Chain A
Amino acid sequence: QSALTQPPSASGSPGQSVAISCTGTSSDIGASDHVSWYQQHPGKAPKLIIYEVDQRPSGVPDRFSGSKSDNTASLTVSGLQTEDEADYYCCSFGGKNNWVFGGGTKLTVV
């Protein structure tokens, strides 16, 4: 159950767009549409922002979007705002009745 691979950091200026990648294998991301993304601010519990690859829960701004191609999922944050500065984690349901998370990406809005 190896962790999914995310870049440790990403950055962008207010108003810009940034994409965060999440690479897995043909056993997890490549085999599943059950890919989700979480936002976590310091000292807080994670918050679901994308599920089923590209679906947004109610209340999540449409600035957040998700996609998937082969074994890689991506989260794009458009129109960056200062409050988007947080850690972001991807997650995929695997082929052995398990979930695997990515290592996390720290997004800085400079």
Chain B
Amino acid sequence: DSGVTQTPKHLITATGQRVTLRCSPRSGDLSVYWYQQSLDQGLQFLIQYYNGEERAKGNILERFSAQQFPDLHSELNLSSLELGDSALYFCASSVGGTSDEQYFGPGTRLTVT
């Protein structure tokens, strides 16, 4: 158990809908990262937050947004869902930034039908 929690574990929804994925980092970690793993692609970095502020942005679509709240938990919002958004979404946390180990949560499996 990494200490990072993600909810829900599984999510099934229809195209065009909007969902919110939630991540709680390990106690004391200030950074939260979001990743997407699709069947046909490897692990893709989406976005990083550090202590409530956006730190780095990767291959995140405009239909997706994220935020980190004062209690340091983070939410990833996915809207206007498409079939291709079906993937495993991981959250990871670290104490600080670049040179710190990241601890991954168990992931949320999103299926868009």
Instruction: Say whether A associates with B.
Output: no
